[in-house]
């Protein structure tokens, strides 16, 4: 086998001389091995060239992507700053509303860190380049803080809303208007010491007498429930036909000497509801409304509530 050779004969079709080459198996194997090595080198070089080209393209693509991400993060940072400015305006307005409605201002430190828990770490962020990681972390923290502040703001607005509603209900139940319109009657006797026309001696007058024509409308001074609606009376005695309204907060009001009573005991009334008409029933010298305001069983000067809006807590 070692002595055997392969003879290659080659010639041209145009009549050239016939040539031949004698190759041993060792020579053939050597040629094949050399060709294989050359092929490996060519393939390896090609892979290296393509790999390097791909790597350069990939780097260029990543650089462009990083630039795009960087630009987007800057835009996000600008938007977060704008939202934070708007949030500060909302918080200032909310503080003003709290103060206006008798609530204490929210402490700024509590507003900054007083709600929510620690944020969860995201290990995937660590794969970002250092500059993008820094911006991303900063924006993430700012958004989380804004989210906490917004939650607190919503709770704050809700608290103020509840307080305003409670105050509105409370104020509706505080006597604060003239039960007879100013154009329809004028005050003839005020609260305090006066000369009683029936006994001709000084006596404390617990209410306000508003002189008006017979049949003038009388309105409830505040919301409440009719405690007494008296239609039966003795001429020349007491308040005659009268109404007592319990405003369910310590306040009660009395409307005396009516000619007609237009409500019933137990009936709910609101401020400005018609409750009766001016008259001269009971112990009265002429048509007028005797109006009293009591708080926890003690008489108050009705003009204090009407003229000064004074509220007793």
Please list the residues that pair with 291 across neighbouring strands. Answer: 208, 255
Return phi, psi of residue 84, to 5°.
Answer: -65, -40
* Ranges under pLDDT 70 in the chain: 1-6, 8-18, 21, 23, 56, 59-63, 65, 111-134, 194-201, 307-313
Q: Measure Cα distances from 76 to 73, 130, 132, 143 in Å.
A: 5, 18, 13, 10
Contact, 302 vs 208, CB < 8 A? Answer: yes
Q: Where along the chain do its domains lie?
A: 1-172, 185-308
Look at the domain 185-308 and name its fold: Glucose Permease (Domain IIA) (2.70.70)
pLDDT for position 222: 95
pTM over cut 0.95: no
- DSSP, collapsed to helix, strand or coil, labels residue 281 as coil
Q: Is 171 left (phi over 0), alpha (psi -120 to 50) or beta?
A: alpha
pLDDT at position 129: 63
Backbone angles phi, psi at 207, to 5 degrees: -140, -155
pLDDT of residue 312: 42
At 199 the pLDDT is 60
* The predicted structure's pLDDT at residue 246: 97
């Amino acid at each position: 086998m070692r002595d055997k050779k392969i003879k290659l004969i080659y010639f041209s079709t145009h009549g050239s001389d016939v040539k031949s080459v004698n190759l041993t198996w060792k020579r053939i194997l050597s040629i094949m091995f050399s060709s294989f090595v050359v092929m490996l080198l060519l393939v390896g070089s090609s892979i290296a060239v393509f790999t390097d080209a791909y790597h350069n393209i990939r780097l260029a693509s990543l650089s462009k992507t990083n630039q795009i991400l960087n630009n987007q993060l800057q835009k996000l940072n600008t938007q977060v700053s704008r939202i934070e400015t708007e949030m500060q305006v909302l918080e200032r307005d909310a503080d003003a509303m709290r103060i206006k409605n008798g609530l204490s201002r929210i402490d700024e430190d509590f507003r900054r860190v007083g709600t929510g828990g620690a944020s969860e770490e995201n290990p995937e962020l660590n794969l970002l380049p250092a500059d993008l990681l820094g911006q991303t972390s900063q924006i993430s923290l700012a958004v989380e803080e804004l989210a906490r502040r917004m939650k607190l703001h919503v709770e704050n607005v809700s608290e103020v809303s509840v307080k305003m509603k409670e105050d509105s209900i409370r104020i509706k139940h505080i006597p604060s208007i003239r039960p007879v319109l100013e154009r329809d009657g004028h005050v003839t006797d005020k609260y305090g010491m006066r000369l009683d026309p029936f006994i001709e001696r000084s006596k404390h007058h617990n209410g306000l007498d508003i002189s008006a024509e017979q049949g003038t409308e009388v309105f409830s001074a505040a919301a409440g429930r009719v405690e007494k609606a008296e239609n039966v009376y003795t001429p020349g005695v007491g308040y005659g036909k009268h109404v007592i309204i319990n405003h369910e907060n310590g306040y009660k009001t009395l409307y005396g000497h009516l000619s007609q009573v237009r409500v019933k005991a137990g009936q709910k009334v609101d401020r400005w509801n018609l409750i009766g008409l001016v008259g001269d029933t009971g112990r009265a010298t002429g048509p007028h409304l005797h109006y009293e305001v009591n708080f926890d069983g003690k008489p108050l000067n009705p003009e204090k509530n009407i003229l000064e809006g004074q509220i007793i807590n």
